[in-house]
């Protein structure tokens, strides 16, 4: 009932040539029931929207919570929609850490994007010291609560959550299927208790952090893992195709 969804987050990588290469590989593939979304750097979005077939979503990696105006360097929702981009990743740990986006800012961005017609991949996840201090759920719930308080129940239909433990991102240190499943299941319980059973049943929760062509099989079999958000391996056509085929 929850459609498995694989996102490729290129971060600050890629080129026109890579858009051509990866779109060629994905357009030719059969991925069964899996939904695919590719998040490229902003300048490559128009080319990506042109090259990827229409059933593959194209996503920005961030956008402003302001409508328009004097915000040099920012990208707004209206421009994304104008170029037919209908997804945005918000609250990635790199935005939170490096660019100091607070829980509150992330909540406001998610709300603004959804109220203005985009679909959102909202990222949450704890740092290593927080996991070691047994604060994983405390941190994840704090991040979730900042999003929940900005959204109506109906707006959750346009949210995909991405659980990305920061210690697993770009480190090669993937969460075990059991570790990921445990947090995903807790997130779903929290949604049931704090939003509604319907939202808990229907919201897709991706796992992100060192997902690759080898470990995706075991991770996808967990009952509360509804997709992946893939960094490094999404830049390699063959690996990303293998990950997108993990349900076949």
Q: Does 209 bind ligand 13P (CB under 6 A)?
A: yes
Query: Could you give the CA distance from residue 148 to residue 114 in angstroms, rounded to a whole number?
Result: 12
Q: Does 230 bind ligand 13P (CB under 6 A)?
A: yes
Q: Does 227 bind ligand 13P (CB under 6 A)?
A: no
Phi, psi (degrees; rounded to nearest 5) at 34: -85, 130
Q: Does 122 bind ligand 13P (CB under 6 A)?
A: no
Residue 240 carries which DSSP code? H
Minimum CB distance to ligand 13P smaller for 13 or for 102: 13
* Three-state secondary structure call for residue 48: helix
Residues in binding contact with ligand 13P, number by CB under 6 A: 14
Query: Could you give the CA distance from residue 154 to residue 234 in angstroms, rounded to a whole number?
Result: 31
Q: Which residue is nearest to ligand 13P (CB)?
A: 231
Q: Measured from the CB of residue 193, what is the shortest distance to ligand 13P in angstroms?
A: 27
Q: What are the catalytic residues?
A: 92, 164
Minimum CB distance to ligand 13P smaller for 15 or for 68: 15
**Which of the ranges 27-35, 131-139, 140-148, 224-232 carries the binding residues for ligand 13P, by CB under 6 A?**
224-232
**Which of the ranges 43-51, 111-119, 177-185, 228-236 carries the binding residues for ligand 13P, by CB under 6 A?**
228-236
Q: Does 169 bind ligand 13P (CB under 6 A)?
A: yes
Q: Does 110 bind ligand 13P (CB under 6 A)?
A: no
Pairs from 13-20 (Cβ < 8 Å, separation ≥ 24): 13/41, 13/235, 14/40, 14/41, 14/44, 14/235, 15/44, 16/44, 16/47, 18/235, 19/44, 19/47, 19/48, 19/51, 20/51
**Closest alpha carbon to 8 in 33, 37, 41:** 37
Q: Measured from the CB of residue 90, what is the shortest distance to ligand 13P in angstroms?
A: 11
Query: Could you give the CA distance from residue 172 to residue 174 in angstroms, rounded to a whole number?
Result: 6
Length of the chain, please?
A: 248
Q: Does 231 bind ligand 13P (CB under 6 A)?
A: yes
Phi, psi (degrees; rounded to nearest 5) at 108: -70, -40
Minimum CB distance to ligand 13P smaller for 85 or for 169: 169
**Closest alpha carbon to 38 in 81, 70, 8, 11:** 8
Q: Measured from the CB of residue 137, what is the shortest distance to ligand 13P in angstroms?
A: 20
Q: Does 57 bind ligand 13P (CB under 6 A)?
A: no
Minimum CB distance to ligand 13P smaller for 62 or for 76: 62
**Of 9, 59, 64, 76, which one interacts with ligand 13P (CB under 6 A)?**
9
Interacting residues with ligand 13P (CB under 6 A): 9, 92, 164, 169-170, 208-211, 229-233
């Amino acid at each position: 009932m929850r459609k498995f969804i694989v996102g490729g987050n290129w971060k600050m990588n890629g080129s026109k040539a890579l858009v051509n290469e990866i779109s060629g590989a994905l357009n030719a593939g059969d991925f069964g029931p899996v939904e695919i979304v590719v998040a490229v750097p902003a300048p490559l979005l128009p080319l990506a929207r042109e090259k990827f077939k229409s059933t593959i979503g194209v996503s920005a990696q961030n956008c402003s919570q302001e409508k328009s105006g004097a915000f040099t360097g920012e990208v707004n929702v209206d421009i994304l929609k104008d170029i037919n981009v209908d997804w945005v990743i918000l609250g990635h740990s790199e935005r939170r850490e490096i660019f100091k986006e607070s829980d509150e800012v992330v909540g406001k961005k998610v709300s603004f994007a959804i109220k203005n017609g985009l679909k959102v991949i909202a990222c949450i996840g704890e740092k290593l010291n927080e996991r070691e201090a047994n604060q994983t759920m405390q941190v994840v719930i704090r991040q979730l609560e900042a999003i929940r308080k900005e959204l109506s129940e109906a707006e959750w239909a346009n949210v995909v959550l991405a659980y990305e433990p920061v210690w697993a991102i770009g480190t090669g240190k993937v969460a075990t299927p059991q570790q990921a499943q445990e947090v995903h299941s807790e997130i779903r319980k929290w949604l049931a208790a704090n939003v509604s059973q319907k939202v808990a049943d229907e919201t897709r929760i991706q796992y992100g952090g060192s997902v690759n062509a080898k470990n995706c099989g075991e991770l996808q079999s967990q009952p509360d893992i509804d997709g992946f958000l893939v960094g490094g391996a999404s830049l390699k056509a063959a690996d990303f195709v293998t990950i997108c085929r993990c349900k076949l």
